[in-house]
Amino acid sequence: MLWAVFLKGLVMGLAVAAPVGPIGVLCIRRSLADGRAAGLATGMGAATADAAYGLLAALGFAATGVLVAYAGPMAIGGGALLVWLGLSSVRAFLHFDGEVAAISPARAHGTLFKSWVTTFLLTMANPLTILTFVGMIAGLGAVAGSAPMAPFWLVAGVFFGSALWWLFLVQLALSIRSRMTPALTRWFDLISGAVLVIWGAQIALGALP
């Protein structure tokens, strides 16, 4: 019974994470620019946020309407953060010196923490993520109430399902990275940065009253 709950959560995590969006673009960009660890930290930030929403939905918290009530302000903050990250990527394009700099241990640690935190906050503030989990309340509630430990198995499934997608995406980006020249990397910074800025602005402006 609990394995069935876990598998339902796994499928749900994959379904929520798989659509390509601003988080996917950010994960690919960080994998190309900062390496596997930064890409994985980005993916794990998104997976952690998905698991958090899965837990809220499984416990019935989402049914209170609080998530929807605060979706607008959260979307504005998330959109602004996306714009800032996009501008940082564009700035990397403008200051690119033709070489890929090595990441020092101190910088690597800071990059990993920043990657995890920013992606966690972005995913939590994503209105599509909020609405997706709110839309799954009925099914989640029935599954979570099937056994005392069911909510935790469900959340574990959501986390691992989401994490599997991000692991795949990072590996895909790294396979492309080996074929990219410094010039192509620079232009990807510009393109991905512009996409993040536009996406973030649309999310923030769309959430305004």
- How many other CB atoms are there within 10 angstroms of residue 88's CB atom? 12
DSSP H or E run through 176: helix 150-177
pLDDT number for residue 40? 93
Instruction: Give CB contacts under 8 A, 24+ apart, made by 145-153.
Output: 146/1, 146/5, 147/1, 147/2, 147/5, 149/2, 150/1, 150/2, 150/5, 150/58, 151/55, 151/58, 151/59, 153/2, 153/3, 153/5, 153/6, 153/9
| Tokens 């994959």 -> residue | 14
CB 120 within 8 Å of CB 46: yes
* Residue 60 DSSP one-character state: T
Report the candidate in 169, 194, 174, 140 with the shortest Cα–Cα distance to residue 11: 140
DSSP H or E run through 30: helix 22-34
∠ at Cα 147 (142, 150), nearest 5°?
Answer: 75
Average pLDDT along the chain:
77
- Name the residue range of residue 121's domain: 2-206
State the number of CA atoms in the 13 A half-sphere of 153 facing the CB: 16
Q: Is the pLDDT of residue 97 over 80?
A: no
Residues 6 or more apart whose CB falls under 8 angstroms from that of 160 comprise 9, 10, 13, 47
- The DSSP-derived string for 70-116 is THHHHHHHHHHHHHHHHHHHHHHHHT--SS-PPPPHHHHHHHHHHHH
Q: Is the pLDDT of residue 141 over 70?
A: no
Q: pLDDT by residue (tens digit) across 142-181?
A: 555 556 677 778 788 889 999 999 999 999 988 887 777 7
Q: pLDDT by residue (tens digit) across 8-61?
A: 888 878 877 877 678 888 898 888 888 889 999 999 999 998 888 877 776 666
pTM given for the model: 0.75
Q: Give me the number of domains the chain comprises.
A: 1
| Tokens 């390509």 -> residue | 20
Residues 6 or more apart whose CB falls under 8 angstroms from that of 3 comprise 153
Q: Is the pLDDT of residue 101 over 50?
A: no
Which is more confidently placed, 122 or 178? 122
Q: Is the pLDDT of residue 95 over 80?
A: no
